[in-house]
Structures are given as structure tokens and as C-alpha cells.
């Protein structure tokens, strides 16, 4: 038997049969009454941006008692025939023969989601109800489709998805402050004879934290399965209060064996182009909405990225461009300093006006695991910078030579005892390999035009905020 329930998306696309009654379920966006004896109820179920118009006649038994009392947010099941709409605004509509109220809104004048523009800041304060808005629902669909596109890209290219651990004991991964994971009683901590906290009494018999990156672990699988990636949550306990940082965010980290930095950059470019292409094809309605309401020219921007070559430049080249820029930078530019936000913005927003890949940074400002170049002063690192959001990818070729890795760890003051297994990878069949981290929320922000990554994740975690 055919399922009589159809989504708004299918009904509006004309995919629901017109020779029989069907059902649609969702939440009321607006209700308008006509004295001709009918009410128009706009019903949203998340399957599309556009609502289904349910036309409810006053001959329905619950018309006066219930339908005339519907307010935004009420949950309904409507049954009726799908017909071509006689009015503008929608291709099809439902002529309801029954409308069942599944869930009322208790106190309509306090229901926060109204058919009007809300600020994104306000919506963050009602994070449990904001998915009922167009903008957050659309961002949620984009997030889903982008994730699917990324998985599909890797699958089609012979990569394996590796679920690296969320709890780690690597205490110096170097990517930021970490959240501690412990079952010790904070009010009664076990002590060693020297008075320090005795972590051998803790759950893992050692200090443990939430991961700041799956990279080190995924390298082990890379050096066995050749092409792998992680896609999962990542945690940084930094007190960062910006539009592009979260304490809990999702990151995609591919790692490829027998590969150098150039292969890495090529992979990054292919991944982004493939994903954006798929998104443009599969989420055209939502992207058009973002183009109209959030960032004018968004679709043309994405089309342009898919069609053009990413600009690649060496760090040294970037420095000379910035030195010749004639801009009055707050932080002066010279070889050896890290690029500041204002420098990255100039490069990507003014100089090339597209994503740009900056490669081969001074080794003094980069992590210990990045491969030392032959020039003795740079490492094979790269950042992909995007207009408006800044760094969306950070990656590198990894140092595969044990002696060099050891000396780099010594320079960084890292205890090699903590990295015994990581060093083993360089002792047993080491090969050149490379990878990068793609910030998922930053990418969503970029493709939607949303200015804040807090609107690109369902329940954002930031300093002082984990209420929902």
C-alpha cells in the first residue's frame, strides 16, 4: 500500500497523486482567514524552504473550534486532495478534507518564532526553536548535503573514513588548550606522596582530554590504508570569542600516503570544488534563499570558485605582495612573522578575490610535525584562506624522517616519551605523507554567507554557553 503521507517538497514538486487523498504533516507558519469561508494555513515540515498551503473550508467539523485558533508553531496532520493552485505563490496546494491538530502552542503570545525576520543573535537564545526558521532550517539542510558531498567525494576517490578517538591522552598536540576528561572527585582529589594529583587513580590511569585533532591518530591508518580521512567532533578549550571559533566543532581531516604538499593542496582544491558543485546542484533552493537574504551574489561566488583555479603562492611571495600592497597594516609585514587576520583578508579578499593557498611557512611559527624543507628555514605547511571567513583549511606534509622529527620535537620542548607510537610510524616503513584539516562550520558559513559559525552548527558551544 502506498504511504499516504507526502513531504512538502514532493507536494510542491507535483510528485503527490491528484486522484486520491494524501496527508501532509508539519508545523504552522501562518494562518490567514477568508470570509469566503476558508482559511489558508502555511505548513512547513522541513523538507523544503517553501510551505505547503493547506486550504481549510469552514465545512470542516473543527473549523470554528480549532482551525480558527491555529497560531504559528502548531503541529498538524492535514488530509485532502492535491490540486494545482488557482492563486500565485505556489504550484500546488491541498484542499483539506480533514485537519487534525497534533500539538497546540500553549501560549501563543510568547512563542518566539514569528513570521518576520529575527536577528540571528536572538535565535541563538532560543536554540531549541530556531530550526523552525527559514534560515536555520536551510543552514541545516546545507550542512547535511555538504557532509554527504564530502563523504561521497572521499568514497569515490578510494578514501576510508576512520573514526579517530574523541578521548586522547596526547597532552601536547599543540593545536590549543584541551578539555580534561576525568572521573576523579573534584572535592576529594587523590594525591601522590609529592602532593600532586595522582592521575593513576583516574579512569584511564593517566591524564585524558577531549581531542583537538584526529590527525596524529589518522596518520597511523594512513600508513596502512593509504588514503583515509576523519570526520568528527573536535574540542578546543580556548577562550575564543569570535565569529569563527567554537569550543566544539566538526573537522574533516584527510591524510594521504606517498604524497607531498603539492598533492595535499590539489586534494584540498578538488574536495572543495566537488563539494560546492554538488551543493549548487542539490540545494539550489536554499542557496537562492541565502543569496537573496544573507549574501547577495553568493551563488555566483560559488559558481566562480568551482570554475576557476585556486591561486597558490609561497609564504615568501605572500609577504612580498603584502609589502608592496601600500596598505597601512596595523601589524607590519616582514619575512618570519605569522600572517595576521588583516594580511590574510587582504590576500584573499582584495588581491585574488577568491580562495588562496599559501604554502611553505617559516618553520619557527609552525607545528613540530610539519616537514622541514631543504631551504632550512621553512616547512611544508599550507593554509587555504577564503574571503570573509579566513582560514578554512590548515594542513601540511608531515615530517616522515625520524631524526628530523626528533630534533623538531626537541626544539618545541616536546617529550618524545609521550609520542612513542607516533615515532614508531617513522621507524617501520615510513613514507612521505600529507594531510589537512577542513573546518566544517567555517565551510558552511562560507557557502551560506552566514557571518558566524554559531549559526552553522545546531547547538553552538562557546565560552560560557552550553545551555542547550
Partner RNA sequence: UCCCCGGUAGCUCAGUCGGUAGAGCAAGCGGCUGUUAACCGCUGGGUCGCUGGUUCGAGUCCGGCCCGGGGAGCCA
Q: Which positions from 175 through 214 interact with RNA, judged by CB under 7 A?
A: 175-176, 213
Q: How far is the CB of 123 from RNA (least distance, A)?
A: 8
Q: Which residues pair with 385 in a beta bridge?
A: 356, 391
Site for RNA in 39-68 (CB under 7 A): 40, 42, 53, 55
Residue nearer to RNA on the CB measure, 202 or 392: 392
What is d(CA 84, CA 104) in angstroms, rounded to the nearest whole number?
Answer: 29
275 near RNA, rule: CB under 7 A? no
18 near RNA, rule: CB under 7 A? no
Choose which of 130, 400, 442, 448 interacts with RNA (CB under 7 A).
442
393 near RNA, rule: CB under 7 A? yes
Choose which of 25, 227, 363, 454 interacts with RNA (CB under 7 A).
454
- Residue 86 near residue 125, CB atoms below 8 Å: no
30 near RNA, rule: CB under 7 A? yes
**464 CB contacts (<8 Å, ≥6 apart)?**
none
Residue nearer to RNA on the CB measure, 163 or 242: 242
243 near RNA, rule: CB under 7 A? yes
2 near RNA, rule: CB under 7 A? no
135 near RNA, rule: CB under 7 A? no
Q: How far is the CB of 272 from RNA (least distance, A)?
A: 11
- Residue 383 near residue 337, CB atoms below 8 Å: no
> Closest by alpha carbon to 358, among 320, 311, 390, 402?
311
324 near RNA, rule: CB under 7 A? no
Choose which of 80, 254, 387, 394 interacts with RNA (CB under 7 A).
394
Residue nearer to RNA on the CB measure, 155 or 338: 338
- The stretch near RNA (CB under 7 A) out of 151-159, 269-277, 278-286, 434-442 is 434-442
- Residue 77 near residue 100, CB atoms below 8 Å: yes
Q: In degrees rounded to 5, what are phi and psi of residue 430?
A: -70, 150
Site for RNA in 334-373 (CB under 7 A): 338, 340-342, 345
Residue nearer to RNA on the CB measure, 72 or 202: 72
**374 CB contacts (<8 Å, ≥6 apart)?**
none
Q: How far is the CB of 320 from RNA (least distance, A)?
A: 20
Q: In degrees rounded to 5, what are phi and psi of residue 282?
A: -90, -20
- The stretch near RNA (CB under 7 A) out of 83-91, 201-209, 272-280, 315-323 is 83-91
103 near RNA, rule: CB under 7 A? no
Q: How far is the CB of 68 from RNA (least distance, A)?
A: 8
Residue listed under C-alpha cell 616522515? 400
Choose which of 66, 77, 198, 238 interacts with RNA (CB under 7 A).
238
Which region, left, alpha or beta, applies to residue 413 given φ > 0 means left and ψ of -120 to 50 means alpha? left
> Closest by alpha carbon to 235, among 461, 467, 444?
461
**67 CB contacts (<8 Å, ≥6 apart)?**
31, 39, 41, 56, 60, 99
- Residue 132 near residue 43, CB atoms below 8 Å: no
Q: How far is the CB of 69 from RNA (least distance, A)?
A: 6
283 near RNA, rule: CB under 7 A? no
Q: How wide is the angle at C-alpha 268 spanned by C-alphas 458 and 452, nearest 5°?
A: 30
97 near RNA, rule: CB under 7 A? no
Q: How far is the CB of 438 from RNA (least distance, A)?
A: 6
171 near RNA, rule: CB under 7 A? no
Q: Which residues pair with 135 in a beta bridge?
A: none
Using CB under 7 A as the binding criterion, the count of chain residues that bind RNA stands at 75
**Could you tell me what percentage of the chain is helix, strand and coil, using 3-state DSSP and rounding each to the nearest 5?**
35, 25, 40
Q: How far is the CB of 205 from RNA (least distance, A)?
A: 29
Q: How far is the CB of 257 from RNA (least distance, A)?
A: 20
Neighbour count for residue 326 (Cβ, 10 Å): 6
In Å, the largest CA–CA distance within the chain is 86
What is d(CA 344, CA 176) in angstroms, rounded to the nearest whole number?
Answer: 21
What is d(CA 395, CA 371) in angstroms, rounded to the nearest whole number?
Answer: 11
Choose which of 25, 143, 227, 244 interacts with RNA (CB under 7 A).
244
413 near RNA, rule: CB under 7 A? no
Residue nearer to RNA on the CB measure, 112 or 316: 112
- Residue 356 near residue 385, CB atoms below 8 Å: yes
Amino acid at each position: 500500500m502506498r504511504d499516504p503521507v507526502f513531504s512538502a517538497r514532493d507536494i510542491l514538486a507535483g510528485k503527490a497523486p491528484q486522484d486520491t487523498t494524501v496527508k501532509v504533516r508539519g508545523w504552522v507558519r501562518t494562518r490567514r482567514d477568508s470570509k469566503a469561508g476558508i482559511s489558508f494555513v502555511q505548513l512547513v515540515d522541513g523538507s523544503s524552504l517553501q510551505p505547503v498551503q493547506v486550504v481549510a473550508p469552514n465545512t470542516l467539523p473543527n473549523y470554528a473550534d480549532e482551525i480558527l485558533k491555529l497560531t504559528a508553531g502548531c503541529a498538524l496532520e492535514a488530509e485532502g486532495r492535491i490540486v494545482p493552485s488557482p492563486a500565485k505563490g505556489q504550484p500546488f496546494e491541498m484542499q483539506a478534507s480533514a485537519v487534525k491538530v497534533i500539538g497546540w502552542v500553549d501560549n501563543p503570545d510568547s512563542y518566539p518564532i514569528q513570521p518576520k525576520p529575527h536577528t540571528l543573535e536572538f535565535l541563538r537564545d532560543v536554540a531549541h526553536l530556531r530550526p523552525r526558521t527559514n534560515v536555520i532550517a536551510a543552514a541545516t539542510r546545507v550542512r547535511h548535503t555538504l557532509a554527504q558531498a564530502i563523504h561521497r567525494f572521499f568514497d569515490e576517490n578510494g578514501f576510508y573514513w576512520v573514526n579517530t578517538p574523541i578521548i586522547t591522552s596526547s597532552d601536547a598536540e599543540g593545536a590549543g588548550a584541551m578539555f580534561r576528561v576525568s572521573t576523579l572527585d573534584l572535592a576529594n582529589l587523590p594525591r601522590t606522596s609529592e602532593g600532586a594529583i595522582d592521575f593513576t587513580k583516574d579512569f584511564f590511569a593517566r591524564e585524558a582530554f577531549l581531542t583537538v585533532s584526529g590527525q596524529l591518530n589518522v596518520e597511523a591508518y594512513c600508513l596502512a590504508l593509504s588514503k583515509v580521512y576523519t570526520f568528527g567532533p573536535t574540542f578546543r578549550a580556548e577562550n575564543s570569542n569570535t565569529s569563527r571559533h567554537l569550543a566544539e566543532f566538526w573537522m574533516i581531516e584527510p591524510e594521504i600516503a606517498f604524497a607531498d604538499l603539492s598533492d595535499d593542496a590539489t586534494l584540498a582544491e578538488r574536495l572543495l570544488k566537488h563539494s560546492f558543485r554538488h551543493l549548487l546542484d542539490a540545494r539550489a533552493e536554499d542557496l537562492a534563499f541565502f543569496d537573496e537574504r544573507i549574501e547577495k551574489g553568493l551563488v555566483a561566488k560559488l559558481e566562480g570558485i568551482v570554475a576557476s583555479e585556486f591561486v597558490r603562492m609561497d609564504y615568501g611571495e605572500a609577504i612580498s605582495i603584502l609589502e608592496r600592497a601600500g596598505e597601512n597594516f596595523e601589524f607590519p609585514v616582514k619575512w618570519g612573522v605569522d600572517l595576521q587576520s588583516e594580511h590574510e583578508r587582504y590576500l584573499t579578499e582584495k588581491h585574488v578575490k577568491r580562495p588562496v593557498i599559501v604554502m611553505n611557512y617559516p618553520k619557527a611559527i609552525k607545528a613540530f610535525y610539519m616537514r622541514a624543507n631543504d631551504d632550512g628555514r621553512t616547512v611544508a605547511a599550507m593554509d587555504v584562506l577564503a574571503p570573509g571567513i579566513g582560514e578554512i583549511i590548515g594542513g601540511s606534509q608531515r615530517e616522515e624522517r625520524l631524526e628530523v622529527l626528533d630534533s623538531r620535537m626537541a626544539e618545541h620542548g616536546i617529550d618524545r616519551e609521550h609520542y612513542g607510537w607516533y615515532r614508531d610510524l617513522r621507524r617501520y616503513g615510513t613514507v612521505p605523507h600529507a594531510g589537512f584539516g577542513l573546518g566544517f562550520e567555517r565551510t558552511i558559513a562560507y557557502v551560506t554567507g552566514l557571518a558566524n559559525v554559531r549559526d552553522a552548527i545546531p547547538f553552538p558551544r562557546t565560552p560560557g554557553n552550553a545551555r542547550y
